[in-house]
Amino acid sequence: MSEITIKFLAEKLNLASSTVSRALNDSHEISDKTKKRVLDLAKSLNFQPNANARSLREQKSKTIGVIVPDRVNNFFNLVIEGLESVCREEGYSLIVYNSYEDVEQEKKIIYSLLGGKVDAVVISLADEEKEVQHLEWLREKNIPILFFDRVARHVSGLKYTTNDLESAYLATKHLLDKGCKKVAFLGLSNTSSVGKARQDGFIKAHIEHGLVYDKNLLIGFGHDDIENQKVLEKLFYKINRPDGVLAAAEKLGIATLRALHNLRIKIPEQVRIVSFTNMQFADLLSPALSTIAQPAFELGSTCAKELIRGLKSKNINLFEEKKIELPSKFTIRDSSK
Partner DNA sequence: TTGTAGGCGTTATCAA
Partner DNA sequence: TTGATAACGCCTACAA
Residues that bind its own copies (CB under 8 A): 1-2, 46-56, 59-61, 63, 71-72, 77-78, 80-81, 84, 93-98, 111-117, 137, 140-143, 254, 257-258, 261, 280-281, 283-288
Would you give the binding string for DNA spanning residues 46-85, x where CB under 7 A is met?
---xx--xx-xxxx--------------------------
Q: Which does 275 bind (CB under 5 to 8 A by kind): DNA, its own copies, none?
A: none
Q: Give the burial string for 206-215 (b: 16+ CB within 10 Å, else e).
A: beeeeeebee
Q: Tell me: does residue 33 bind DNA (CB under 7 A).
A: yes
Q: Tell me: does residue 15 bind DNA (CB under 7 A).
A: yes
Cβ atoms of 67 and 99 within 8 Å: the answer is yes
Q: Which does 25 bind (CB under 5 to 8 A by kind): its own copies, DNA, none?
A: DNA
- Whichever of 30 and 138 has its CB closer to its own copies, that residue is 138
Q: Tell me: does residue 26 bind DNA (CB under 7 A).
A: no
The span from the CA of 76 to the CA of 305, in Å, is 17
Q: Tell me: does residue 317 bind DNA (CB under 7 A).
A: no
Per CB under 7 A, the segment of 16-24, 95-103, 130-138, 297-305 that binds DNA is 16-24
What sign has the CA pseudo-torsion 234, 238, 240, 245?
Answer: positive
Q: Give the burial string for 139-149 (b: 16+ CB within 10 Å, else e).
A: eeeebbbbbbb
Q: Which does 71 bind (CB under 5 to 8 A by kind): its own copies, DNA, none?
A: its own copies
**H/E segment holding residue 82:** helix 74-89
Q: Which does 221 bind (CB under 5 to 8 A by kind): DNA, its own copies, none?
A: none
Q: Please state the closest distance from residue 58 (CB atom) to DNA, in A.
A: 6
Of the candidates 276, 277, 272, 285, the one whose C-alpha atom is nearest the C-alpha of residue 241 is 272
What sign has the CA pseudo-torsion 224, 126, 256, 298?
Answer: negative
Q: Give the burial string for 10-35 (b: 16+ CB within 10 Å, else e).
A: beebebeeebbbbbbeeeeebeeeeb
Q: Please state the closest distance from residue 60 (CB atom) to DNA, in A.
A: 11
